[in-house]
Amino acid sequence: MASTALKNSFSKDQWFNKKELISYLLVIGGSIIFAFGNIKFASPYGLAPGGTYGIANVLNALFPWKVSYYAFCMDIPLLIIGTLILGPRFGVKTIVSTFVILGATWVIETFWGYAPLLHNGILDPALVASVPEYAQNMMTATGPADARIWFVPDYFMNTVVAGLIYGLAIGMIFKSGATSGGSDIISMIINKYTHMPLGTLVIIVDTTITLSTLFLGQGFRLPIYSILLIVIEGKVIDIVVDGLKTYKTVFIVTNQYEAVRDIIITQMKRGGTHIHAKGLYEGVERDLIYVSLTRRELVTLRNLLSQADPAAFVSVGDASEVMGKGFKSLHQA
């Protein structure tokens, strides 16, 4: 009896269960993907999509030194200062993510280098001097002075792919329950003393980092592409964290309750919630039905409602996630 109780207690309270394992795999996988995207897509083009790695990319272009070294000199002090000022807000996963990104960045830049994966051609450094001046203006370079890589850039395609990779990576990290740390800590510290909205401060800090690419001498091209990268990244993060929003939440105000109920339960094999409601304007009692559906089922419901109650009032909203019977189990959340 005692052994059974001990076994049940351990199974409920075990520290490293399947869900935790998956979350750590997301942290590690997302961190490696982030490092890959930064070194092979953002850094060679001089893009700075916010964060300490954006600053590191700019510093690497101005004063060639490993991106990981610059990031280390910023991330570790920020974690320490943030903990001292804000308290222990940063969980184990955030710390794991910080060090995995640093390690993966060092490995990639050391053994793979800064040569971009997307470009319109890489030129032999020995031939650069023979290229006409107008053509040289169409090229860019990356890497340390003793191993300079000259290539013809494809800014738009590279920015799109970089945004997709950044979004996937950071989305995986966020989904695991970790935070990005880095420059976000600066925003949190300023927020503590100024009480400015945290969201506004994040935008200000990241925009300032993005504008630092002006020091690379290419005008507003790099800041604009960096901002485009951030926009794409944000959309992908939403998809990774919240899904594609294939579910719809539907509110139906109807005078034909039985007919609508029959459509949902009998024909569509779905459940719902019936609420007695009163109109604000005339104070008339109405029936309100709440139901969650897939996008495909919504089309079917719309067609059936148009026949059963053409006068029904229908409000449809996106549901990023629906859990419960008939949808995703709460144990999978």
- Looking at the fold, whether 46 and 187 belong to one and the same domain comes out as yes
Residue 199 in this model has a pLDDT that exceeds 80: no
* Cβ burial 65-99 (10 Å sphere, 16+ → b, else e): ebbbebbbebbeebbeebeeeeeeebeebbebbbe
Cβ atoms of residues 66 and 73 within 8 Å: no
Based on the fold, state whether residues 114 and 223 are members of the same structural domain. yes
pLDDT of 235-254, one tens digit each? 888 888 777 767 889 999 99
- Residue-wise pLDDT for 154-172, tens only, equals 999 999 999 999 999 988 9
CATH number of the domain that residue 326 is part of? 3.30.70.120
Q: What band does 13 get if pLDDT is binned at 50, 70 and 90?
A: very low
What is residue 85's DSSP assignment?
H
| 142 vs 70, residue with greater confidence | 70
| Structure tokens given for 223 | 């800041």
**Same domain (yes/no): 174, 99:** yes
87-141 pLDDT, tens digit per residue, is 766 678 888 899 999 999 999 999 999 999 999 888 877 777 667 766 667 778 8
Q: Which of 222, 242, 262 is the last residue of a domain?
A: 242
Say if strands 149-151 and 247-254 run parallel, antiparallel, or are unpaired: unpaired
The predicted structure's pLDDT at residue 10 = 43
Band of residue 27 on the pLDDT scale cut at 50, 70, 90: very high
Which tokens is 128 given?
Answer: 């650069």
Q: Is pLDDT at 5 greater than 90 in this prediction?
A: no
Average pLDDT across the chain, whole number? 84
Which pLDDT value is given to residue 129? 67
| Best CA proximity match to 109, nearest among 174, 44, 25 | 44
Question: Does residue 67 sit in the same domain as residue 191?
Answer: yes
Is residue 4 in a domain? no
Q: Does 51 lie in the same domain as 146? A: yes
Residues 90 and 175 in one domain: yes
Residues above pLDDT 90, as percent of the chain: 34
Residue type present at position 187: S
Residues 197, 311, single domain; the answer is no
- Look-up: residue for tokens 């000259």? 150
Q: What tokens does 306 get?
A: 């148009």
Whether residue 110 is found in the same domain as residue 229: yes
170 and 24 together in one domain: yes
Is 125 a member of any domain?
Answer: yes
Helices (H), the chain: 2-13, 18-37, 43-45, 51-62, 67-86, 92-111, 133-136, 155-175, 183-194, 198-211, 221-242, 257-262, 295-308
174 Cβ contact partners less than 8 Å away, ≥ 6 residues apart = 180, 237, 240, 241
Considering the domain boundaries, does residue 12 fall inside one? no
Contact criterion met (CB below 8 Å) for 251 and 314: yes
| 247, containing H or E segment | strand 247-254
Give me the number of domains the chain comprises.
Answer: 2
State residue 2's pLDDT score: 45
**Position 283, amino acid:** G
Helix (H, G, I), strand (E, B) or coil at 102: helix
Instruction: Give the model's pLDDT for residue 241.
Output: 77
Q: Look at residue 181 in the predicted model and tell me its pLDDT.
A: 67
* pLDDT surpassing 70 at residue 144: yes
Q: Which domain holds residue 262?
A: 247-332
Angle 18-37/155-175 helices, nearest 10 degrees? 160
Q: Cα angle at 64 between 58 and 69, to 5 degrees?
A: 80
